[in-house]
Each structure stands twice: as C-alpha cells, then as structure tokens.
Structure 1
Amino acid sequence: MEKMTRRTFLKRGLGFLAAGILTASGGYSYARYIEPHMINITRHTIRHRLIPRGFDKFRIVQFTDTHLSDVYTSKDLDKVVQKINQLKPDLIAFTGDLIDKPHLYQDHQRALSALQKLQAPFGKLCVYGNHDHGGYGTNTYKALMEEAGFQVKRNGYERLRLTDGSSIEIAALDDLMLGKPDYEGTLSQLSADVFSILLVHEPDAALEIGGYPVNLQLSGHTHGGQIQLPFFGPLITPPYGKIYTDGMYTLNDTAIYVNRGLGTTRLPLRFLAKPEIALFTLKCAAQK
C-alpha cells in the first residue's frame, strides 16, 4: 500500500478540487465524453549512432493501457486497431494493462478479434502491466495475447535481424508492481554496440537500469495522470510512475518515452491528457 505522504495528500486534494472545478464549469462533460475519445497520434524520430542503415526508417508503433471495460469497450479497441494499421508499422509493441478488471471482464472474444487484425511484418510484442497480473489475470492475458498473434515477453530478450545482417535488440521486463522483473538476467544480455529497446510497463524502471546499455525505453502506466492542470502537470500518478510521467525524457544515454495510453482507470476522465498512439521512426545517424 502506498504511504500517504504530505505531498500525496496535497495532490489528491488538488485532484478532488480539480474534479469539482471541472464539474462546476461544465468541463466534466468534456473530460468524460469528449477528450477520452480524442486519440492523439504522436510521432517521434529516434536518431542514434547505433541504429544500422538497414533499420533506417524502421517504424515501431506503441500502444498501451487500453483498460478494456464497460467504459472503454472492444468497439473503442476496433478504432485503435484501424488507426495503428493505417500507420503501416514494421513492429507493434503493447506495453501493458489490456483489461481494467480481468476477473470481471466478459468481452474477450471481441477484444481478441480486434487484436488479431493488427498487422506488422516484424511481429507484435507485449509485456505485462499491473492490471494484467491483477484479478487473477496472468494466464488469461497470456492466452489472449498469444492467440491474437503477440509474443508475450516476460523478462524476455530477442535480437531482431534483417536479411542484410543488421540487427537491433529488444528486452522486456515483467511488471514492477505485481510481477517479478529480472533486471540482471534480462538486461545483462544486451550488447553495448547494438541499438537496444526496453519494453516495461512502469516508466520509473529507468531508475534501475543505469548500468545496462538501454538506448530507448518504452513505457505506459501513468496515463499522463489522466487529469492535468496547466503549469502543474499531472495531479496524481501511480507507484513507479512518479518521476517519468508523460512524454520523452533522457537519462544518460537512454531515451525514455512515457505513453499516455488509451483507456482510463478509477475515474473515467481525461483532461489535458489525451489518449495516445505513439509512432517511433528509427533513423541511422549516418543517414540524412
């Protein structure tokens, strides 16, 4: 259980205050019914000296935190799938929290049908989020995602190779909150001279990877706070999402990207934290 510090107490107080302001000003309808459906496709060019020529313009789409429920339904997921396929990704990565409450969710078949339609020539990868383990959902998530054509990575590693011999490395950690992330066993397999990507649900995992050659970390978990205030940022973010909360950061030689995700949890609201699909285009530093 998270310890209630003075800072946490004040932030939660501000959260309730903001909710009151939204309601009083008529902003509640916007935060409840409009912004949660305003999917923002963000585009990022990742230029690095270790990206080989063969991977120049290689496209990776990350989506995360769908939190499927009665609020965010399989119909919403269908729309996400259409948008992702329109981006023509080479690789798709889902960084956790597929279903909000796995022990209560009933629409697995329609969710499966939507996920099966995702297309990427180099495959579809996914990792566990805390909600995927929660509600006795560990095996359900694995079975559903594998049937949908995803490789479920739980402290996994692989080297993605092209026919020209060039390669990049992809590592994946188990969820930090309810899983068993193996930093040493997983990240020690990375090479210092090969471009590497880490998939992990919680962004603050970056604080533990300083001794390993991770070049790009893709995470979700925070939802960008779901409710942000101008000049203040996210009001409340979950454990392991306190330092890195929304967007791109740099720590040493690691670029850390925190995707705001698509669904909601606890409160079905988004305000100044639009749902997001992220497209990353790799760029060889030697190429113009």
Structure 2
Amino acid sequence: MAFIVAMVMSAFGKRIIAEEIFLDSLPQAFEGFRILFITDIHRRRLPQALLTSLKGPVDAVFLGGDMTEKNNPLNRLLSNMALVTSIAPTYAVHGNHDYNANTSVVDNIIRGSGAVLLMDENVAIERAGALLWLTGVNFSMNRGETSYPPLPPLAAVANACRIILVHDPLWLSQRSSVPADLILAGHTHGGQVVLPFFGQRHVDAFYQEYSAGWFTLPKGDESQAFAKLLISRGFGTARLPLRFRSPAEIHVLTLRTNSSTQKGEFQSQ
C-alpha cells in the first residue's frame, strides 16, 4: 500500500526543473530568454499558483503535445490553456492523445486561447531586432517512423538559431540530419513506471536509449556541430495515475550564448 501511495504521489508531483542551455548560434539579444516547457499534461490540472509566479521571468511557453486526452473534461483544457497563455506567448504542437480526443474542438480551444498551434510550420520569435526560429512538428498518426513530411525550410536564413518542438522523439529515428540547435520532445513519460532490473518496457528499441533527459546529437551537416535534445518525462500520466522512478516534471529553460558567464535565478523544486 505504501508503494502504491508513493507512486500516486510521484504522479501528481509539481516539480520544476530549471536549467541553463548554452547554444552556439543563439543571438546575443536572446541571452537569458526563458522558456516554460510543458508536455504530456493529459488529464491533469496545471498548478495555477506555481505557474503564475513565473509570469514575467518567462518569455515564452512551449507545449509539447498531449495537452488533453479522450474523455478529459473540456473545461480542464480551457483552464490550462488560459493559464499558460496568461504567462507568456504560447506555442504548441499536437500529441497522439490530442488526436484521440475531439480534435476540432481541442484545436478551437487551443487557438481560441491565443496560443499558436504549429503543424509542420516555422515561426520567428523576435527580440530586439534578432530572430529565434521555432519549428513545430505535427504528430504523425502513423506513429512517425517514415510518415513525417520534410521539415519546413528556413529560406535564406543564414546562421539561424532553430528550436524544434516535436511530441514524439521517435521522429528522430529516420532522420539523417537534425538542422536545429535544440529539440524539445516528450511522449515517453520516461517510462512512467520504471521497475528495478526490468527497466523501461517500451515496444520500440529506440526508447530504450532515448527515454528521458538530455542527449547530444550530431546535426549531420557540413558544420560538424551538435544539437541538444531534451526528452521530458511530462506532467501527466497515461492510463493509470502512477509513476515510479520517473517523476512528473515541468521545465524552465534559460537560453545562454556560449560567451555568457551569467547564472540563472531559478532553482529546481
């Protein structure tokens, strides 16, 4: 019983992980730019008091899909979207559970909140005359190994700093190159319930290696540079509200240029 209680408590945790991300091509104008990254909310209600306190320090909110799920009350999605869009400009991509819900109604709520829903699109975020490019990869209903379309090009943009927001990191498995500086993903829940000795019992071998946390990937172009990948464990749960050795998490990411010597003011909670 104590073990089950501990798993439920882990599933309903409200941990914020605050980290600094150093990017080679980040424009100086975006030094200290803060992103609130939340993915896999599912049926949970976002913590209003905790997130409202981030209004001001946070410059943008990125939602990595599964903002709701089938039979989740629509007023919960309405409330969650109203909260995040009150904090900062919000950008979102679909997850598989968003498609299992009433997609047209879900999309109307997302767009009606003022959030930008990216479906294989680029958007430029401007700050002091400089641009940071965000590409939103739409979830593939065919599970994504081969059915994702090519990334939308950044036409005539030299030395652009690009962030890719994608729900399922499996998208990476069929790519020969990763034309981005930072990729943010979710979907895996970090295994959600990770038992000793058994590890993470995912169907696809890809998730055995890429389950949760930070990874470094070669861009695969002539630059011989590397991209950073974050796979979040997410905030909600699939099926049962249980977690073990994979706690719920929300991220505050502070972007830094490589010339920066500053330290962030946030601490993980």
TM-score (norm 1): 0.78
RMSD over aligned Cα, in angstroms? 2.4
Alpha carbons 1:190, 1:196 under 8 Å: kept: no
In 2, Cα distance between equivalents of 1:190 and 1:198: 18
1:196 Cα offset (Å): 0.6
Counterpart position of 2:50: 83
> Could you tell me which of 37, 41, 51 is aligned with 2:16?
41
In 2, Cα distance between equivalents of 1:198 and 1:172: 6
**Per-residue CA shift, 1:185-229, capped at 9, x if unaligned?**
525659461111000000122234443421111011011111113
Alpha carbons 2:140, 2:148 under 8 Å: kept: no
Change (3 A) 1:130 1:110: closer
In 2, Cα distance between equivalents of 1:125 and 1:240: 27
* In the alignment, structure 1 residue 28 sits paired with structure 2 residue 4: yes
* In the alignment, structure 1 residue 265 sits paired with structure 2 residue 231: no
Alpha carbons 1:173, 1:186 under 8 Å: kept: no
In 2, Cα distance between equivalents of 1:131 and 1:238: 18
> Could you tell me which of 171, 175, 181 is aligned with 1:215?
181
In 2, Cα distance between equivalents of 1:211 and 1:145: 31
In 2, Cα distance between equivalents of 1:201 and 1:190: 27
Change (3 A) 1:110 1:177: closer
Tell me, what secondary structure is at the counterpart of 1:265? coil
Alpha carbons 1:224, 1:237 under 8 Å: kept: no
1:141 Cα offset (Å): 1.9
* In the alignment, structure 1 residue 109 sits paired with structure 2 residue 75: yes
Alpha carbons 1:61, 1:84 under 8 Å: kept: no
* In the alignment, structure 1 residue 224 sits paired with structure 2 residue 193: no
Counterpart position of 2:222: none
In 1, Cα distance between equivalents of 2:106 and 2:207: 22
Tell me, what secondary structure is at the counterpart of 1:115? helix
Indicate the percent of aligned positions where both proteins have the same amino acid: 27
- Larger mean CA deviation between 254-263 and 206-215 belongs to 206-215
**Partner letter of residue 11 of structure 2?**
P
Change (3 A) 1:269 1:201: same
> Could you tell me which of 130, 134, 147 is aligned with 2:100?
134
Alpha carbons 2:148, 2:171 under 8 Å: kept: no
1:45 Cα offset (Å): 1.1
TM-score (norm 2): 0.83
Tell me, what secondary structure is at the counterpart of 1:169? strand
In 2, Cα distance between equivalents of 1:198 and 1:131: 20
Change (3 A) 1:170 1:190: farther
1:110 Cα offset (Å): 4.1
- Larger mean CA deviation between 218-227 and 176-185 belongs to 176-185
- Could you tell me which runs of 5 or more consecutive residues in structure 2 were left unpaired when the two chains were aligned: 219-225, 262-269
- Could you tell me which runs of 5 or more consecutive residues in structure 1 were left unpaired when the two chains were aligned: 1-22
In 2, Cα distance between equivalents of 1:44 and 1:67: 24
Change (3 A) 1:150 1:131: same
In 2, Cα distance between equivalents of 1:201 and 1:148: 20
